Structure 1
Amino acid sequence: MTTRMNEYKQQIITDFNSRTNYDNEFRYRFAKPLIELAQLKLGQKVLDVATGTGIVAIAAAKIVGDAGYVLGVDISTGMLAQARHKVELEKLQNIELIEADADDLHFDDNSFDVIFCSAAIAYLTHVFSSLRQWYRFLNTSGIVAFSCFAETAHTASILFREKAQQFGITINNPNELLGTPEKCQALLQQTGFQNIEVVTQQFGFYFKDAETAWNAHANNVYGYQVYQLSPDKLAQLKAEYMAEIHALSTEQGFGHDVNSLFVFARKS
């Protein structure tokens, strides 16, 4: 693994290990459409890639029942610790959680009926290869269901990237690869999937203050690059970003678009 890749992976781990308040109303609302549209059945075997705190995995385990099985994988020990605590509280026996890199999974072909990936596919370093893997892991007529964001989503993130660029820091848009229904359709077709459906929903909210918006982005894997700047330049960038957030805010706060894509496809 290259030094740059190691840095990226470590930043993901650091970012998510620090998220002690990850479970909130937004996360559960965002997971609900993915679970509902997958139409899980009793007895199914489910893989939840980048399971995080297990929101989707736990909901799936309750639906597939004792005859079914759910495996959640995540690279973050902090996220998995929260997920395991919830599993214990729920007294679920049909769910297993393992620490693993979602870019490097090893399961037998035809092992699962459904594969989920909620809001995490943009963090994968080789999305095409992962989709090819998932295709192999699925049983005949198995379903893949993932959620991602429109390439124009996350208004505060776009502003953050634009402001960072003015200071010579280039931050990629993680939603560019799968950021439209057409892009999702094309990539899934290339990996062999059929019966592709893309449902869009808006999950926008308001940042109540500029400091919250800054912290949400500067400490993210798609934002920490600004710390390459000198302390003076970083302070200037932060001040200018927060000033723009404040200038564009209303009484409700800064409007943050979260146009989202829920994607479903079936193995041929």
Structure 2
Amino acid sequence: MAKPPNQPNFRILSPNAAKNLAQKKKPVPGGTGQGQNQTLSAQSTPEPNIQGPKLTPKRPFSAFFSNLRQRYAALPRPVQRTCRGLRILAPLVPISLFFSEHVMQVMWVRGPSMTPYLNEDYHENHTKSDMVLVSMMPSRVWPWERTRRLERGMVVTFRSPANSSHIAIKRVVGLPGDRVMTRKPCLKESQIVPFNHVWLEGDASDPERTLDSNTYGPVSISLLTGRVFAILGPRMRWLNWADWEDGKLDNGTSEGKNYRQATRDRVMKEAVNMENQSLD
């Protein structure tokens, strides 16, 4: 059958095809052409917005601390205050231990071995003890003191050779190379202080009231633990080793050759040439 002339052609399209055809034929402002129609079509097509699950960093101890906070909140008020106090005091314990072992230490002098320089009233009250301040720092600490050398007359603390658990306090009488005239109960009339040792004695006039180098011999410098430089009580005063050599008392008065002159006369200084030791 022949098609009648001048009759328009019609084509039936699906809804989706009609929509796509309309978008292709939509004019673009600022230009024309097939390439621009394709660009508009590509831009007008919405991209799918896909969002995955959000990942949060996992804290390994979060559950533990959360449980700990809950348990702490359930404690009574007095227990919570005690825990806060312990939290503040906890770091102070190692600091105080380090300070007392390596910087300064407070000690009490007991017994008559250092009378009358220490424990002045021991003959009246045997229970009274002086409180002294001991420097335990190594040498070359202070800028004005290049080295803390051992000198005759210094009052030092040391581990007793007779009992290593006991800390004793005595005065340095002889240095390495000195010849010391001993006293009872030492069996030798004289003793040369060997290298790396010192001769220590108490200030008591009666040799039976002090246990010192006349009993256990020269003391190794490695056993020395500190140097006494101040007395805190009952009468506060500073100690100066030069006062012992000059015959002066700690209060600044001079008694000539009476103050421990007998002890100094028993020491022949540098009888043997040896290196002077430092308290390191």
Q: What interval of TM-score do these two structures reach, taking the shorter chain for normalisation?
A: under 0.3
Q: Which is higher, the Rg of structure 1 or of structure 2?
A: 2
- Relative contact order, higher structure (CA 8 A, sep 6+): 1
TM-score (norm 2): 0.19
TM-score (norm 1): 0.20
- Bigger proportion of residues as helix: 1
